[in-house]
Amino acid sequence: MKSIKSFFAKKNFKNFKNMLKGRQNHLNRSIAGNSLLFVIMAVCGLFMAMPLIMLTNNALKPLDELYQYPPNIFVRNPTLTNFTDLFSLVNLSWVPFSRYIVNTIIITGISIAGHILCASLAAYPLAKHKFRGRDFLFGLVIMSMMFSSQVTQVSNYMVISALGLSNTYPAVILPTFAYGVGLYLLKQFTEQIPDSMIESARIDGASEWYISFHIIMPNIKPAWLTSAIFQFQVIWSNTGRLLLRDEELKPMQYALTQITASVGREGAAAAIAFVMALIPITFFLVCQSHIMETMISSGIKE
Amino acid sequence: MKSIKSQELTSYLMIAPFFVLFFVFVMMPVGMSIFFSFTYFNMLEPPSFVGWNNYTRLFLDDDIFLIALKNTLIFLLVTGPISYFFCIIFAWIINEFSGKFRAFLTLIFYAPSICGQAYLVWGLILGGDRYGYLNGLLLQMGFLSEPINWLNTERYIMPVLIVVQLWLSLGTAFLAFIAGLQTVDKTLYEAAAVDGVKNRWQELWYVTLPAIKPQLMFGAVMQITSSAAVAEISIMLAGNPSVNYAGSTVVTHLIDYGTVRFEMGYASAIATVLFFIMIGTNKFVQKLLKRVGG
């Protein structure tokens, strides 16, 4: 009797809350607290989004508004001239601009796929197996993240040219496979997979490879997608200036920054700043929405 | 016995692809850089061995390194923990919301980190003449009678860089927390409510944080590496060298020697010192994190 009563009480409480917030799976929430959080997030959000707003508005400003005083954040006479300027500049590029785009797709696609495969394969034994040298090897990965990349760039260049990879796609692709941040993230998520799940698969006669591909990998997809976001950013900020000499091999981000580098192109530069931000944001949104989907569909935990 | 051996072999085979590439493309360059730190190396002639010279010069003869070290320690010990705290709090608050709105909030808060050089917008905001947005605003409202050169005045440089760094701080760690929070088992909260957890703060400390401990550890390493490596914002906003070296950090100092003066040996010594500072900080932080959740 008592349990039925409390069941209804809880249910009523939830319904009431749903009207206000639409969050069903959390107990212990007060309306006042929810409203306070909403206000905090609105204020902070505005502060965080401010530069995005300015970036968008600048891209739409005609030249005279870009130099206006007092400076105005919001555009008055929005125009797409900056983008048409950019488009005509892009058509003047050394090799057809589509070539740069293809290069970016090849480099980014293979890098992310290869990295996620290598790192998830390695994450499983590092998180769940016992073998000699495990902690030492994993310690090396973490420590390697702490050495300034500005210094290793030079020795990295030496290694790559000693291997004869300089000025080829693999020069920029292969090192990204061994991206330590991604391995670390995947290993941390693999640790959270319950041992009982792996044990029962073993009892059913599954090999370690089968477990890795069919139990571990599907369950760490949120980590995959998060790691893909990080790696996309790393690749996107790397113009390959040191390692790729042929114009035919260079990625789009290189070509775009080259246009900004020349003087007297404020308008096109504003458009480029917008595009340079838009592409990683799009990638981010695609990955984030998939994270939500996988979480809804899987329900993996014990 | 045999099966243990074969399982060990499987483990090694599984980690092989990653670690072979890791040793070639990551460990070798790091090892070479540590070796260069004991040499004079201008990248044109082969390196010549100089023993501990770079290190003694760094600590005894380089006044700017001491300024840079002080600034980096401020970023590492003050800005770093604050931003780590922000990452947890904002990820947790965002997780309280649902559906599209939550995805939107994630984007807004992560945006400064994802837009590459979005921090350059601060250059516009803090422009030193009347065209800077902040100066323009303050002049219009009558708070200032003449524009302040924010990025070229010694006493404003560090505070400005700290604000920009905090603004940028919801990065890798933040996103890892968001992903981690989504995997927390919902039944844990119901169990905790039965056990007497009364409000969301208790829930955070006793349920949520322990459940995402692996992500917390990951986030700590990310926050240490990013706050110890602050350089780009300083160089792009305040210049390198900045006025009176007020905005110098260990990494801007290293970039100065490595790419401007072609003293790679000395730059490597700076990197090696920073490397050990970060390892030490990480050891300490990981110990602290073991206490999360009481």
A19 is a domain residue: no
Give one DSSP letter per residue of A99-162, joined into a string: HHHHHHHHHHHHHHHHHHHHHHHHHHHHHH---TTHHHHHHHHHHHTTS-HHHHHHHHHHHHHH
A178 interaction partners in chain B (CB closer than 8 Å): 18-19, 21-22, 24-26
B152 is a domain residue: yes
Would the pLDDT of A295 be above 80? no
- What does the pLDDT look like over A70-110, one tens digit per residue? 667 788 888 888 888 888 888 877 788 888 889 999 999 99
**Residues in chain B, pLDDT under 70:** 1-4, 116-117, 293-294
Interface test with B, best of A27, A55, A134, A147 (most B CBs within 10 A): A147
B224 interaction partners in chain A (CB closer than 8 Å): 146
- What does the pLDDT look like over A35-80, one tens digit per residue? 887 888 888 888 888 778 888 888 888 888 877 766 677 888 888 8
Binding-face residues of B in 38-57 toward A, CB within 8 A: 43
A59 is a domain residue: no
B170 is a domain residue: yes
Interface test with A, best of B25, B223, B277 (most A CBs within 10 A): B25
With the C-alpha atoms ordered A162, A163, A168, A172, is the resulting torsion angle positive or negative? negative
Q: CA-to-CA distance for A244 and A286, rounded, in angstroms?
A: 29
Q: Distances in Å between the alpha carbon of A83 and those of A79, A98, A154, A265, A268?
A: 9, 17, 37, 12, 7
pLDDT number for residue A5: 42
Interface test with A, best of B30, B89, B276 (most A CBs within 10 A): B30
Look up the CATH number of the domain holding residue A227: 1.10.3720.10
Q: CA-to-CA distance for B42 and B265, rounded, in angstroms?
A: 7
B280 interaction partners in chain A (CB closer than 8 Å): none
| Least confident span in A113-117, A144-148, B127-131, B135-139 | B127-131
A181 is a domain residue: yes
B35 is a domain residue: no
Q: CA-to-CA distance for B270 and B229, rounded, in angstroms?
A: 12
Look up the CATH number of the domain holding residue B269: 1.10.3720.10
**Coil, strand or helix at B40:** strand
A291 interaction partners in chain B (CB closer than 8 Å): 179, 182
Would the pLDDT of A183 be above 90? yes
Q: CA-to-CA distance for B163 and B150, rounded, in angstroms?
A: 12
Going by C-beta distance under 8 Å and a sequence separation of 6 or more, which residues neighbour residue B174? B86, B87, B90, B91, B109, B110, B113, B219
**Coil, strand or helix at B145:** coil
Query: Between chains, do B103 and A288 touch, taking CB under 8 Å as contact?
Result: yes
B21 is a domain residue: no
- Tally A–B CB contacts below 8 A: 283
Supply the range of the domain harboring residue B134.
62-289
A82 is a domain residue: no
B85 is a domain residue: yes
Would the pLDDT of A7 be above 70? no
Q: CA-to-CA distance for A293 and B98, rounded, in angstroms?
A: 13
Q: Can you give the pTM of this predicted structure?
A: 0.86
- What does the pLDDT look like over B166-177, one tens digit per residue? 988 888 899 889
Query: Between chains, do A118 and B17 touch, taking CB under 8 Å as contact?
Result: yes
pLDDT number for residue B88: 92
Beta partners for residue B39, in sequence order: B49
Element holding B39 (H helix, E strand): strand B39-40
Å between A95 CA and nearest CA of chain B: 25
Supply the range of the domain harboring residue A108.
90-298
In the block, residue with structure tokens 């010192």: B273
Is the bond preceding A62 in cis, omega lying within 30 degrees of 0?
no
Highest mean pLDDT among A118-127, A290-299, B127-136, B163-172: A118-127
Query: Between chains, do A223 and B179 touch, taking CB under 8 Å as contact?
Result: yes
Å between B50 CA and nearest CA of chain A: 18
Residue A184: pLDDT band (50, 70, 90) is very high
What is chain A's mean pLDDT, rounded? Answer: 81
Q: Distances in Å between the alpha carbon of B178 and those of A37, A298, B215, B279, B294?
A: 17, 17, 9, 26, 22
Q: How many domains does chain A have?
A: 1
B79 is a domain residue: yes
Residue A243: pLDDT band (50, 70, 90) is confident
Q: Please count the CA atoms within 13 angstroms of the CA of B131 that sit on its side-chain side.
A: 6
CB B213 within 8 A of CB A191: no
Report the complex ipTM.
0.88
B18 is a domain residue: no
Q: Does B228 touch chain A (CB under 8 A)?
A: yes
Q: How many domains does chain B have?
A: 1
pLDDT number for residue A127: 92
Would the pLDDT of A23 be above 50? no
Q: At what angle do helices B99-114 and A266-298 cross, to 10 degrees?
A: 140
pLDDT number for residue B4: 67
With the C-alpha atoms ordered A151, A154, A156, A158, is the resulting torsion angle positive or negative? negative
A63 is a domain residue: no
